[in-house]
């Protein structure tokens, strides 16, 4: 759905400085990029503020990225630190987060990175009517991709179910998959939404679609109670349709 593509120069520099063992540079870079991709996915599922959309910023914990992004070489150098110190950083902090305020950093991607949004092309005559998809490639993710997305967003789901706490942790929403598919088609044809906002809306819609396809039409909204008695939600927010 989203891919972080890194300039070849980054890999070549890693390989030159860490030639042994074989493939260590590729494995290290793959792990770092996978960690960064996971964090980007979570940042996007939480949603971006108007300022973040305008400046193309993402809320990511650089501390977590450094700790979880892996190590390389006999001295166990953190990949994040090595990239930064060798002018090969993939992200640049625009605003540094603080443990005191509970905020994470706002970052932008450097010129060494290209973000690719994998959205299938949709022809003008492709529609989904009464559950009949008129093109077999229409927006459907395969089973493995949907499962991976679900596990990424709800890593504790099985534990929550086993503990009998589903209603305490989640609100379960019914998703009309056909309507959501048509909404995505409408978004892709829209000429009136700014590109950054359009990409974000498409991304969040695809998140919901992937989960709903994996769960046969369900989406789980994680609850976040406020100190003032109101209920909020973490992650991509969905309004539940009225039940008959």
How many angstroms separate the Cα of 164 from the Cα of each of 158, 159, 160, 181, 227? 10, 9, 6, 32, 24
pLDDT in tens, 87-140: 999 999 998 888 777 788 999 999 999 887 655 444 444 444 334 444 444 344
Q: How does the average pLDDT of the chain come out, rounded?
A: 79
Nearest to 88 by CA among 11, 169, 171, 203: 11
- Residues 188-216 have a mean pLDDT of 82
pLDDT value for 213 = 86
- Residues 173-188 have a mean pLDDT of 88
- Residues 237-243 have a mean pLDDT of 43
> CB 73: neighbour CB atoms within 10 A?
15
Interatomic CA distance for residues 146 and 4, integer angstroms: 19
* Cα dihedral sign, 195-198-200-206: negative
Q: What are phi and psi of 198, to 5 degrees?
A: -65, -45
pLDDT in tens, 45-101: 776 777 787 788 899 999 999 999 999 999 999 999 999 999 999 999 998 888 777
Using pLDDT thresholds of 50, 70 and 90, give the confidence band for residue 142. low
Strand-pairing partners, residue 54, are none
Interatomic CA distance for residues 160 and 168, integer angstroms: 9
Interatomic CA distance for residues 221 and 240, integer angstroms: 10
């Amino acid at each position: 759905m989203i891919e972080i593509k890194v300039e070849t120069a980054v890999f070549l520099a890693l390989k030159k400085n860490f030639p042994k063992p074989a493939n260590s540079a590729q494995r290290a870079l793959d792990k770092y990029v996978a960690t960064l991709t996971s964090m980007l996915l979570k940042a996007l599922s939480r949603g971006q503020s108007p300022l973040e959309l305008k400046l193309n910023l993402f809320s990511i914990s650089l501390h977590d990225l450094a700790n979880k992004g892996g190590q390389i070489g006999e001295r166990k150098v953190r990949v994040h630190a090595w990239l930064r110190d060798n002018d090969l950083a993939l992200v640049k902090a625009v605003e540094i987060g603080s443990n005191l305020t509970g905020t994470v950093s706002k970052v932008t991607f450097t010129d060494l990175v290209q973000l690719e949004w994998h959205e299938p092309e949709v022809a003008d005559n492709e529609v989904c009517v009464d559950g009949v998809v008129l093109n077999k490639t229409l927006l459907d993710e395969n089973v493995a991709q949907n499962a991976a997305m679900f596990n990424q967003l709800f890593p504790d789901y099985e534990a929550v179910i086993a503990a009998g706490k589903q209603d305490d942790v989640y609100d379960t929403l019914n998703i009309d998959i056909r309507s959501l598919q048509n909404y995505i088609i409408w978004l892709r044809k829209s000429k009136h939404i700014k590109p950054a906002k359009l990409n974000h809306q498409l991304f969040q819609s695809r998140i919901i679609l992937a989960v709903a396809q994996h769960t046969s039409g369900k989406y789980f909204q994680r609850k976040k109670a406020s100190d003032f008695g109101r209920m909020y939600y973490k992650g991509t927010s969905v309004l539940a349709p009225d039940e008959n």
